[in-house]
Amino acid sequence: MRKKFLALSLAVIVSAAQVMTVSASKQEQLQQQQAAQAETSAQLDNAKAEIDDLETKKNQITGEIDDLDAQLVVTMASVENLKNEIAEKQTEIETTQEKLAQSQAEEDEQYELMKKRIQFLYESGGDNGWAALLLEGKDLSSILNQAEYTQKLYKYDRECLQEYMDLVQQVTDYSNQLADEKADLEASEAEQEAQQQSLEAMLEQKKAVSDDYENQIADLNDMAAQYNAVLAEQNAKIQQIQEEIAAEEAARKAEEARQAAEAAEAARRAEAARQAAAEAAASSAANNTTTADNTLSSTGSSTTTTTPSNGGSSYDDSSSSDTSSSDDSSSSSSTGSATGSAIVSYATQFIGNPYVWGGTSLTNGADCSGFIMSVYAHFGYDLPHSSSALRGVGRGVSYAEAQPGDIICYSGHVAIYIGGGAIVHASNERDGIKISSNAAYTTILAVRRVV
């Protein structure tokens, strides 16, 4: 009977072990699914972080595109304004040339008349002419009158000639001045057109980068959607496995309870059989009437209690991630101290050096804004390399208040005021760095005082 009880107990243990093996397999699946879920969640977080980073970069470059658009509008307006001023200068030049041609024609006419008068005077008032006057017996008064008349003609011709020579010289000088001013305007126009082309190229480049960011964001959004779909599948699978584990655990407990009940019942039956056998043996040993009493007195009861044990297992997997980023930016600017006269004295040392668009070298070549930037840098001032940006440096004053060292700002051009209505500037490729006597040769947009 004891062997039968042991066999039943072993069967319960083997059955429980089989259920535990199945449960352990499910736990491994659950752990694998949770690990895969954690990896997918990390990949999704990385994709979201990349999307946020690209969105930040896209917003930044969108702001840069807006700034470039604004600069391009200003530059295009400057180019158009310079074209109009160049056209006006050309009209003035043509008008001046017409006046010069007219003056030269008048000069030629007066010169021909003067030659005829001189010829007449020499023919009638030369050595033979004076002799004829004396031989004719004219009195001294007539001779003096004739001489005075001749002297007046000489003086009149000389004054007329000098007057027309002065006029021609004035017209020629003015024509040359207009040509110089036109050349300056054309240099400014070329600089602004080059800046316009540069801005347009930068705009195209930044728009291409913005489009690339947009495409990357779209791809990452698609990837994030796929990760979300995978996470949903993994969550469903994890839930399914957990439900299966719970069902198996319930079945295992129910099976353990059933088997424990069967074992208890078998033990009870074995004990009852043992007691019955004992009673039968006692009954057969009794030979007297006292057998029944002996049997009753010897009858006893015993109770055996079997306490089944069961156990379970659980799995908990959690992960967390924390990412942070910080951006630090700093800007610095340098300032110096100098006098306007010192700046003018230093700037005029480089007169005659070449003009080079985009250059900043005071000796090897600079454009108008590069010239001013390098001159002021010598005194410790950090100014921008842009004619439009220079309109915002220092503080503004009127042209009537301009002092040596002030920056004169035109449309697409800048210069340093040296006093007396004159400027020093990187003019154009033909003249290089030079002094111009008329600071107001074109419209002055601003006068900025830095020192």
How long is the chain?
Answer: 451
Which residue, chain included where needed, has tokens 């008048």? 106
Q: Are 28 and 226 in contact (CB under 8 A)?
A: no
Give burial (CB, 10 Å; 0-12/13-18/19+) of 374.
buried
Reduced 3-state DSSP string for 358-390: CCEECCCEECHHHHHHHHHHCCCCCCCCCCCHH
Which residues on adjacent β-strands are paired with residue 435?
Answer: 424
Domain 340-449 grouped into CATH 3.90.1720.10: yes
Residue type, 65: I
- pLDDT of 336 reads 61
Distance CA 68, CA 203 (A): 7
Residue type, 347: A
- pLDDT of 14 reads 40
CATH number attached to the domain at 2-285: 1.10.287.950
Residue type, 171: V
Beta-carbon contacts of 142 under 8 Å, excluding residues fewer than 6 positions away, are 133
330, two tokens: 């700093």
Domain extents in the chain: 2-285, 340-449
To which H or E segment does residue 415 belong? strand 413-419
- pLDDT of 122 reads 58
What are the φ/ψ torsions at residue 292 (nearest 5 degrees)?
-65, -40
**CA 47 to mean position of chain CA atoms:** 24
Distance CA 347, CA 363 (A): 11
**CA 326 to mean position of chain CA atoms:** 18
67, two tokens: 């700034």
Distance CA 208, CA 202 (A): 10
DSSP output for 32-101: HHHHHHHHHHHHHHHHHHHHHHHHHHHHHHHHHHHHHHHHHHHHHHHHHHHHHHHHHHHHHHHHHHHHHH
Distance CA 410, CA 387 (A): 8
Give burial (CB, 10 Å; 0-12/13-18/19+) of 285.
exposed
User: Quick one: which of 109, 93, 97 has its CA closest to 164?
Assistant: 109
Distance CA 255, CA 81 (A): 97
Distance CA 335, CA 380 (A): 5
Distance CA 133, CA 129 (A): 6
- pLDDT of 337 reads 64
Q: What is the pLDDT along the chain (451 residues), one digit of tens a residue?
A: 444 444 444 444 444 444 444 456 878 888 888 888 888 889 889 888 989 998 898 899 889 889 888 887 888 888 888 888 888 878 888 887 787 777 777 767 777 776 676 666 555 554 445 455 544 545 666 656 666 666 676 677 777 777 777 777 877 887 788 788 878 887 787 878 888 888 889 888 888 988 998 899 999 899 889 989 988 988 898 888 888 888 888 888 888 888 888 888 888 888 888 888 777 777 766 655 544 444 444 444 333 333 333 333 332 333 333 333 333 333 333 456 689 999 999 999 999 999 999 999 999 999 999 999 999 999 999 999 999 999 999 999 999 999 999 999 999 899 999 999 999 999 998 999 999 999 999 999 999 999 9
pTM of the model: 0.47
Distance CA 424, CA 346 (A): 11
